[in-house]
Amino acid sequence: MLGRIAELESRKAQAEAGPSEQATRNQHDRGKLTARERLELLFDEGTFNEVEPFRRHRATGFGLEARKPYTDGVVTGWGKVHGRTVFAYAHDFRIFGGALGEAHAEKIHKLMDLAESSGAPLVSLNDGAGARIQEGVTALAGYGGIFSRNTRASGVIPQISVMLGPCAGGAAYSPALTDFVFMVRGTSQMFITGPDVVHAVTGEQVTQEVLGGADTHAATSGVAAFAYDNEDECLEEVRFLLSLLPSNNRELPPVWPCDDPVDRPNDALVDLVPADPTQAYDMRAVIEEIVDEGDLFEVHERWATNVVCALARIGGNVVGIVANQPASMAGVLDIHASEKAARFVQTCDAFNIPLITLVDVPGFLPGKDQEHNGIIRHGAKLLYAYCNATVPRIQVIVRKAYGGAYIVMDSRSIGADLSYAWPINEIAVMGAEGAANVVFRRQIAASPDPEGTRRELVEEYREELMHPYYAAERGLVDDVIDPRWTRRTLARSLEMLRSKQQVLPARKHGNPPV
């Protein structure tokens, strides 16, 4: 028995060491950690349990029969993150460049099935060269199995993709199917066709980083929700995100101890938000004043910056916050902002995270480009997401809310449980200036003093239809609140709504706009 145990330990040491010390040095020289070093950063110390460390491929030809390393280029298993079970797999770039073959894929399939059946989050640490060309169609079929499992687990368990190396071709679609994508600057890239193919087809010269680097996907395409400078920081933030999410769709998010009193007054809000609806301010400062310890975890911070989507806590309970950002494009809703917010609303609803919507929106962005690129169907995505959401939903109208954008930003008419407004709010079809120009066009034109008449009629319209209590008088706002008590109001409302239950009509699935 002792001899057999010694053999086992030797084989395990071989599997853990990888192909060679030179391969490890090469990985470090690229500025990247090994698969096991990454897993050590992800999991609580000493909690990782590996699955199938001795797995080897069965392929032959092209020299593969002479190279059968343990793990087959992917390390799979489970461990604890902040004391809760999490499953993860990590590509080992030192073995076949992390390329996916049949055995490699089967290991991932098994782990994904375990994560789904156990009701625990799944994290993929991606650093692979795509399909293993030597194995042909079996490698492609392996990707198909991953994609189908990503889809089946969507909205059931949190799925997080961490890009730590290249990800090209069809391999990019698994991260695209998951809930959150993290990237590291300088070492991770995602694209369907690489720079060489782009040049051959279009004649365009482009680098890997410009084509599909972290900054490109974080600020331009919106594929990456987060981008960081190094792997240590990236994986620490993955751990923090996991602390905000439930293990599955049948659980509530974890509650953390809170030393920040929920009835703390928000005196700073009086000066943060100008009463003049045309003046800009940073909505992040408003959110920081309301949430616990001023701590928020913003999703897609650099993409579609005219809307803020963030996870935070109020009274120790996780909330999802969607807010117009007057400091960027005046907080207008456009195609990208609508897509960003819709995706975030759907994610929060899937994982039982209450939604708070802070509204200061002048409307949808007008223009030929927006119309031709489908602002109608893209804007409808946000409308659909809110209407379909069954979690507690609270709207706060901070300042202005004009036109269809008011409706879309979770108004009472589409199902918000509670709607509050600050005493500077203006809710109308459009701003007073534009409304008066339309409604009183003939009267202004016939006046001997058109400009003076227009000013009078603008003020009349504002006093009649845009005063802060117009919507409250008609039951479309539940209360007009002192901004200084916004945090307390939200905390009490969330506590009341915690036991909310809403069942959607029986159906196979909805058919949202695309």
**Furthest-apart CA pair in the chain: how many Å?**
107
| Spatial distance between the Cα atoms of 244 and 225, rounded to a whole number of angstroms | 15
Q: Tell me, what's the pLDDT at 316?
A: 97
Work out the pLDDT band at 199, boundaries 50, 70, 90: confident
The least confident of 96-100, 214-218, 443-447 is 443-447
Which residues does the annotation mark as catalytic? 169-170, 404-405
Residue 325, token pair as written in the block: 């950002």
CA dist 130 and 139 (Å) reads 9
| b/e per residue 399-424 (b: at least 16 CB within 10 A) | bbbbbebbebbbbbebebbbbbbbeb
Round to whole Å and give the CA distance between 53 and 74: 9
**The pLDDT of residue 193 is above 90:** no
Tens of pLDDT, residues 419-463: 999 999 989 887 777 777 777 888 888 888 888 888 888 778 777
The type of residue at 265 is P
Q: Name 169's Cβ contacts closer than 8 Å, sequence gap at least 6.
A: 130, 131, 192, 193
pLDDT at 441: 82
What is the dihedral sign for C-alpha 323, 326, 328, 334? positive
Average per-residue pLDDT for the chain: 93
Q: What is the pLDDT of residues 318-339, one digit of tens each?
A: 999 999 999 999 999 999 999 9
| pLDDT class of 18 with cuts at 50, 70, 90 | confident
Tell me what pLDDT residue 318 has: 98
Q: What is the dihedral of CA 212, 213, 218, 223, to 10 degrees?
A: 40
Cα–Cα distance between 312 and 302 in angstroms, integer?
18
Q: Enumerate residues 6+ apart whose C-beta is below 8 A from 46.
A: none
| Amino acid identity at 225 | A
In the numeric block, the tokens 């600057």 are attached to 185
